Structure 1
Amino acid sequence: MTSAHSSRPVTLITGAAGGIGSELARTLAPTHDLILSGRGGAALAALCAELSATPLELDLLRPDTFAQAVAPLARVSNVVHNAGMVELGAVAEQTHEVWTRTLALNTVAPAELTRLLLPKLRAERGQVIFVNSGAGLVAGAGWASYAASKFALRALADALRAEEAQHGVRVGTVYPSRTATAMQQKVRAQEGGEYSPEHYIEPSSVAAAVAFMLAAPPDAQLTDVTVRAGYRA
């Protein structure tokens, strides 16, 4: 469990129960005290038990509940915003409800959670890492709402970096291309295609990139890291 007296960094990961989040938690567990956030449930509880991590149940569509949830946390050195959602659809077809929910979860929730945790992050001279997407760099047909939320997340990261430099808080963004996760399986179903995980980046590879960013020495920050699929034999 996390401790106010531990010398290890305390890292909070959202969307920790599966995919990139759980791989990152396992990667960091030997050297970080972990706060693993999710909507609750057996998967999050099991992961916290496995890694001796602190669970943090958050409904990311209810930012009004964040302050009470994070108030008991003694220390937070790093925050990795990994949670997200995607609903594909043409601009001519997607309703305001899809747009509102996508932006709320992918952009507004990270902004509010970061705001609330900034005093702790400043005290630790910590890092904020945003797990973005290739869609945060280029928007394709059918991806407008998701890409808009990720373009906005990139703007949030850039502004936050400029604002928090004086406080010693470093800010980075990682842009993975398609990754073999449950979200990607959902995307392929929405696209009407087959899901072949061997064609995509392993979640552990993205987790390794985030861990590398967090391990940067204090005089350096990795601001933007793009992770693309390599070639397999």
Structure 2
Amino acid sequence: MGEFEGQVALITGAGSGVGAAIALALSAAKAEIRLVGKTRDSLQDIAQRAQKFGGKAEYLVTDLGNECELSALTDRLARDLARLDILVQNAAVHIASPIAQASMADLDRHYRVNLRAPYALTRALLPLLEASQGQVVFVNSSSAIGAKPSTSQYDATKHALRAFADSLRGEVNAQGIRVLSLYLGRTASKLQRQIHKSENKPYYPERLLQPEDVASVVLNALSLSRTAEVTDIHIRPMIAPEGAAFI
């Protein structure tokens, strides 16, 4: 596969799960990738795996919830990136708590990582995306469609991310930029393992949506002819544990 040869892709939350799977799939399709995440070891591992496909892979260690680090990242990318064809906004935090016991600090972190960071990155990189008539992918959640008990903070920011993506699409389609939102059900990942633990439920990753499935769908949408734009994709596990919510 070489359909993305010569293109440059930036993926946030790229150290594991869906972000890593999308990054590796793009690299296998000959795109140059830039990885953003919090954990150096994880990013380094994904970069090394990607380089085996023969392409360029670099990583930037950044806590998107830290305003100073986010500002430094946007400044560096705007200064150093010569081009950008694909922006995948995947990073997110999920902290569950009933509203009565919820922490305002947790609400602020949800906002900073799940909404403010994607907004800031998109805004800073729009000139590059306009120049390449690029594509933006927002990895969202089924929580953006229906809110659930004990996840009000996460759900609210995912609803807001959906609104941001829809508004962005309306603004940039005329410049040739395509905007895709993915609404994922429960996906096998470190985060999902933590969620199951907090719910006191057994974790069976083989029953859940696989990151590689998501990556396959993303690459298919990105590679479509420019006569078409996929705006929203809903994906969930084929078989979910009884009583489980799709998030």
After TM superposition, the score normalised by the length of structure 2 is 0.88
Write out per-residue CA displacement over residues 147-196 of structure 1, whole angstroms, 9 at most, x where no aligned residue. Answer: 00100000000000001112111111001100010000111111121111
Q: CA deviation at 1:128?
A: 0.5
- Name 1:224's counterpart in structure 2: 232
Letter aligned with residue 74 of structure 2: A
Question: 1:21, 1:103 → 2: CA distance?
Answer: 19
Write out per-residue CA displacement over residues 60-101 of structure 1, whole angstroms, 9 at most, x where no aligned residue. Answer: 012322332212111110100011110001111102111110
Cα contact 1:15–1:83 (8 A) shared by 2: yes
Question: 2:12, 2:171 → 1: CA distance?
Answer: 23
Aligned counterpart for 1:186 among listed residues 171, 190, 194: 194
- Name 2:139's counterpart in structure 1: 131
Alignment of 1:99-178 (within 5 A): 99-178=107-186
Alignment of 1:1-233 (within 5 A): 8-31=6-29, 32-52=31-51, 53-61=57-65, 62=67, 63-70=70-77, 71-231=79-239
Letter aligned with residue 60 of structure 1: L
Question: 2:99, 2:225 → 1: CA distance?
Answer: 43
Count of equivalent residues: 227
Q: Please, what is the CA RMSD of the aligned residues?
A: 1.5
List runs of 5+ in structure 2 lacking aligned partners: 52-56, 241-247
Cα contact 1:58–1:69 (8 A) shared by 2: no
Cα contact 1:129–1:171 (8 A) shared by 2: yes
Question: 2:219, 2:80 → 1: CA distance?
Answer: 26
Cα contact 2:208–2:239 (8 A) shared by 1: no
Cα contact 2:207–2:239 (8 A) shared by 1: no
Letter aligned with residue 12 of structure 1: L
Question: 2:139, 2:32 → 1: CA distance?
Answer: 20
Q: CA deviation at 1:231?
A: 4.6
Q: CA deviation at 1:21?
A: 1.2
3-state SS of 1:225 partner? strand
- Name 2:54's counterpart in structure 1: none
Question: 1:114, 1:47 → 2: CA distance?
Answer: 23
Letter aligned with residue 138 of structure 1: G
Letter aligned with residue 57 of structure 1: V
Question: 1:69, 1:10 → 2: CA distance?
Answer: 16
Cα contact 1:174–1:225 (8 A) shared by 2: yes
Q: CA deviation at 1:199?
A: 1.9
Q: CA deviation at 1:35?
A: 1.0
Q: CA deviation at 1:44?
A: 0.7
Structure 1 moving runs of 4+ over 4 Å: none
Cα contact 2:24–2:49 (8 A) shared by 1: no
After TM superposition, the score normalised by the length of structure 1 is 0.93
Question: 1:216, 1:90 → 2: CA distance?
Answer: 42
